[in-house]
Structure 1
Amino acid sequence: MELHDIDLNLLVVFDQLMAERKVSKVAENLGLGQPAVSNALARLRKLLGDELFLRTSAGMQPTPFAEQLAASVGLALGMLHSAVNARSTFDPGRSERRFSIGMTDIGEIYFLPQLMQHLHRVAPQVSITTVRNTAVNLKDAMEAGQVDLAIGLLPQLKSGFFQRRLFEQKYVCLVRRRHPLTRRKLQEADFFAAEHLAVVSAGTGHGRVDQILDRSAPQRKVRLTVPHYVAIGHILQSSDLVATVPHRLAERMVAPFELAVLPHPVKLPEIAIHLFWHAKYQKDPANQWLRNLIVELHAD
């Protein structure tokens, strides 16, 4: 098959179906009627000799052949999009752009205060929406342009993505300021004798640290388990519980909650935090501006 045999618009429909999995949503995004989208899919099926998408109760599910095509088609369309819009510019001082960033609750606590303070000065009409990296299909959402950037430890973002390392996270112990453990250097025996607040952060790199601590002997005495980091400052402030947290999060929580940071007595791995963006938006001026700003503010 030669490229002149394929209408480029059919590939645009294919790319949108990979992201949305619903004919109605694709029609809405492209400003087409549903019959036009269905017709485009029928033409593409005939050209490629494959069903491409199968109707299920969960929406249109891609065939293995469609999955194989997806990354190449998305990358090619992204390069074309960048090429034809190469002259476009982004003026942060006048823009009313709404950016979406995938991050964890730790990311919101650590990144957003400084980012929003900077935006207030240089881009007063730009707004930010955050989404949980585990709450959406991040790969598809970023490919479709629904999420502009993502921050964290995200091994699923490989083919078709660029990344930039921001920093490495080490882990520390966080306790209230006058906790008995602050009176001398924290030893491993003291750590395991204490009662703990554990954060089960599924789908993030922080789960690796919990696995190491849970496999240790003796084991932690976990008195309280929570699914996120948002409330731990309030909890630690009024208890003798100990929490194992990334040190950059600890730095943000020390002053507001009158807490103390202690070096962790257990040898734990450092976790690299990266900034990710899809290759389709590598040369997009707005995407470039925001990711360069995050690097400027937060990269080591």
Structure 2
Amino acid sequence: MDFHGIDLNLLVAFDALMNERNVTRAAFQVGVSQPAMSAALSRLRTLLGDPLFQRGAGGLLPTPRARDLAVPLAAALRQIEAAMVRPPVFDPASATVTFKLGLQDYPTIVLLPALLAALEQSMPGVALEVHAFNDRNAAVDLLDAGMIDAAIGVSPANTDGRILTRALIRDAFVTIVSSGHAAASRAMDLQAYLALQHVLVSPEGQRHGLVDQALAEQGMQRRLALTLPQIFAVPEVVARTSLSATILKRVALHAQVSHRLTLFAPPVALPEMVFHLIWHRRSETHPGQRWFREFIAAHAAEL
């Protein structure tokens, strides 16, 4: 392929199409009309000898060739941008801006208060607009639609190149029972664990969690008495009943009824739960957005 005379605007158009998966939104991002973006896509297809994008139920779906090109071309464009354009400066102390943050329940309770306290103390012009979500993949839809600047939650199942993630908070599982429960004064071995009735936390409505998967691998099954979509209701339920639950440790410790709970290490091997900072590639180099992500990461590290 002869690269002399290639219009770099075609690469900008390709990057926008990869980010947005929609011709209209890509055109808006680049600042051209929809027909101009469609024409650019046609020229790209001819230039590269590949359809690049095909229409699907969720928008434009990139071909394998497009996926191969996405990361190196995006990196090259960012280098050109850095070399030719002086980046604007973002000063959080004097800025007046509202950042839109998607949050699952866990970071809402565990991290959000610390973020708000820090903003109130030294950045009074920076506000937050919080959007709640439960399904781990909902963050991608919110980011694609431009409804949020970033999200904190369990990493989406498929980030597909345009969605970037960074591990932010780690937590271990504990098994809890009411301090008045007969099991609270005994060792929590597997036999004692299986004798209990359990609460399952399932934001996505499934009847099979990590504990159930670990038990099934050993040919065992626990008795589920209650399934809840919201984890922070669990400590209160356990404190008032004879039920048990296996939940994240910080959830148990943050609960108002934590003094009425007894915590055990689960008698089954469970992985750590990792919550990620999630953002769209389109905001990767924006100075305000970068500051916002680093601000979140710094306060998460203090946990």
Q: TM-score, normalised by structure 2?
A: 0.78
Tell me the CA shift for residue 265 of structure 1: 3.9
Matches within 5 A, 1:252-267: 252-253=254-255, 255=256, 259-267=260-268
Query: Separation in 2 of the partners of 1:102 and 1:117?
Result: 18
Alignment partner of 1:19: what SS? helix
Question: Against the structure 1 CA distance between its residues 87 and 34, is the aligned structure 2 distance closer, same or farther, given a 3 Å change threshold?
Answer: closer
Instruction: Quote the residue 2:269 is aligned against.
Output: 268
Query: Separation in 2 of the partners of 1:28 and 1:164?
Result: 28
Query: Separation in 2 of the partners of 1:164 and 1:13?
Result: 27
1:129-179, Cα deviation, whole Å (9 max, x unpaired): 35644214379849x996446554568569788876555422101334433
For 1:183, the aligned partner's letter is S
Q: Determine if contact 1:92/1:126 at 8 Å carries over to the other structure.
A: no
Question: Against the structure 1 CA distance between its residues 84 and 263, is the aligned structure 2 distance closer, same or farther, given a 3 Å change threshold?
Answer: farther
Q: Determine if contact 1:199/1:227 at 8 Å carries over to the other structure.
A: yes
1:51-108, Cα deviation, whole Å (9 max, x unpaired): 2222345432222221221222223233444445554222112223343455532222
Q: Which of 119, 137, 140 does residue 137 from structure 1 map onto?
A: 140
Aligned alpha-carbon RMSD (Å): 3.7
> Which consecutive unaligned segments of at least 5 residues does structure 2 have?
none
Instruction: Quote the residue 1:12 is aligned against.
Output: 12
Q: Which of 237, 243, 246 does residue 248 from structure 2 map onto?
A: 246
Q: TM-score, normalised by structure 1?
A: 0.79
Question: Against the structure 1 CA distance between its residues 63 and 292, is the aligned structure 2 distance closer, same or farther, given a 3 Å change threshold?
Answer: closer
Choose between structure 1 and 2 for higher RCO, CA contacts under 8 A separated by at least 6 residues. Answer: 1
Query: Separation in 2 of the partners of 1:214 and 1:130?
Result: 35
Q: Determine if contact 1:78/1:281 at 8 Å carries over to the other structure.
A: no
Identity of aligned residues (%): 32
Query: Separation in 1 of the partners of 2:55 and 2:2?
Result: 29
Query: Separation in 2 of the partners of 1:226 and 1:80?
Result: 50
State how many pairs are aligned: 296
Tell me the CA shift for residue 298 of structure 1: 2.6
Alignment partner of 2:138: what SS? coil
Q: Determine if contact 1:197/1:223 at 8 Å carries over to the other structure.
A: yes
Question: Against the structure 1 CA distance between its residues 200 and 216, is the aligned structure 2 distance closer, same or farther, given a 3 Å change threshold?
Answer: farther
Question: Against the structure 1 CA distance between its residues 195 and 111, is the aligned structure 2 distance closer, same or farther, given a 3 Å change threshold?
Answer: same
Matches within 5 A, 1:121-200: 121-124=121-124, 125-130=126-131, 132=133, 133-137=136-140, 141=144, 147-148=149-150, 150=152, 152=154, 166=168, 168-200=170-202
Alignment partner of 1:197: what SS? strand
Question: Against the structure 1 CA distance between its residues 51 and 24, is the aligned structure 2 distance closer, same or farther, given a 3 Å change threshold?
Answer: same
Question: Against the structure 1 CA distance between its residues 207 and 104, is the aligned structure 2 distance closer, same or farther, given a 3 Å change threshold?
Answer: farther
Tell me the CA shift for residue 196 of structure 1: 0.3
Query: Separation in 2 of the partners of 1:119 and 1:228?
Result: 27
For 2:29, the aligned partner's letter is N
> Which consecutive unaligned segments of at least 5 residues does structure 1 have?
none
Instruction: Establish whether residue 291 from structure 1 lines up as the match of residue 293 from structure 2.
Output: yes
Instruction: Establish whether residue 26 from structure 1 lines up as the match of residue 26 from structure 2.
Output: yes
